[in-house]
Amino acid sequence: MVTLKERVDAAFADAAGPGLRAVATVAVGYDNIDVPALTSRGVVVAHTPGVLTDATADITLGLLLSVTRRLGEGERLLRSGTPWSFELDFMLGTGLTGRTLGIVGLGQIGRAVARRARAFGMEIVYTGRRPAPAGTEEELAAAYLPLPELLARADVVSLHCPLTADTHHLIDADALATMKPTAFLLNTARGPVVDEAALADALDAGTIAGAGLDVFEHEPEVHPGLLGRDDVALAPHLGSATVATRTAMATLAARNVVAVLRGERPPTPVPAD
Ligand code: DGY
């Protein structure tokens, strides 16, 4: 059993030797695992989809509210002892009702985020590699858009795609330049989906209005250009960090291992591409 911090590749498999039968990651994302290197050696690879969907969607909405309503900035102001008083124009933020949320990757977590955003009165547009499951567009009143159009239209862009060669730096300087200057970017997927240096530059230049980040390109490091900014809400990869969720993830990973050792199909193998 591994976490997202371990690099599991051919060298890992060779070091483990022929006795290695399964690698079960306690995570839904498996970009740290070279799946072909393992499956070609007869090693079964499994992950933990489903059990962390709600927790991750919740933290996405937490970051959204934090950055749009300036909660972190407000807390820092209070804790610093800076004098303040209620004024009609004091620390005004951005409301969500009637705004458009652009979901990049309408998988389980993307759909859970969209459901929550609908409850906040947001409109949903989405993009992704695969068409949404039948009935999803109707349920979420969601419209498909190609990525460039989604970036140009959304007031909030939220990333829920896996990290692959195709999605590495999907949000780069060009993508950021396509977004509205009033728009916010959320990343609760994987850090390298965003070019963090380009994001820091875009925030400096006012290309976009802010960002909410739970994951980082060079975790646990955070780009220094993001750390001091009040228009960025930051969390230390807390998407699945609840007691119940981490317990469910670890239990599912253990069930995956036990199934393989019994010669059975694990409950949640990584999908064949
Ligand atoms: C995952 O499961 O991929 C998260 O990033 C860690 O919980």
In this predicted structure, what is the pLDDT of residue 131? 82
Region 226-249 average pLDDT: 98
Closest C-alpha to 157, from 208, 90, 195, 228: 208
In this predicted structure, what is the pLDDT of residue 34? 98
- As a whole number of angstroms, the distance between CA 153 and CA 163 comes to 23
Q: State the catalytic residue, choosing from 47, 99, 111, 190.
A: 190
Q: What is the percent of the chain where pLDDT is above 70?
A: 100
Among 28, 45, 190, say which to mutate for ligand 1: greatest number of ligand atoms within 8 Å of CB.
28
pLDDT tens-digit series, residues 146-198: 999 999 999 999 999 999 999 999 999 999 999 999 999 999 999 999 999 99
- As a whole number of angstroms, the distance between CA 16 and CA 186 comes to 38
In this predicted structure, what is the pLDDT of residue 51? 98
Tokens of 20: 């290695």
> What burial letters (b/e) apply to 64-101, b meaning 16+ CB within 10 Å?
bbbbbbbbbbbeeeeeeeeeeeeeeeeeeebebeebbb
User: pLDDT band at residue 101, thresholds of 50, 70 and 90?
Assistant: very high
Find the 82 Cα to ligand 1 centroid distance in Å: 37
The reported pTM is 0.97
Residue 47 bears catalytic tag:
no
pLDDT tens-digit series, residues 11-46: 999 999 999 999 999 999 999 999 999 999 999 999
**What's the one-letter identity of residue 200?**
A
- As a whole number of angstroms, the distance between CA 93 and CA 116 comes to 20
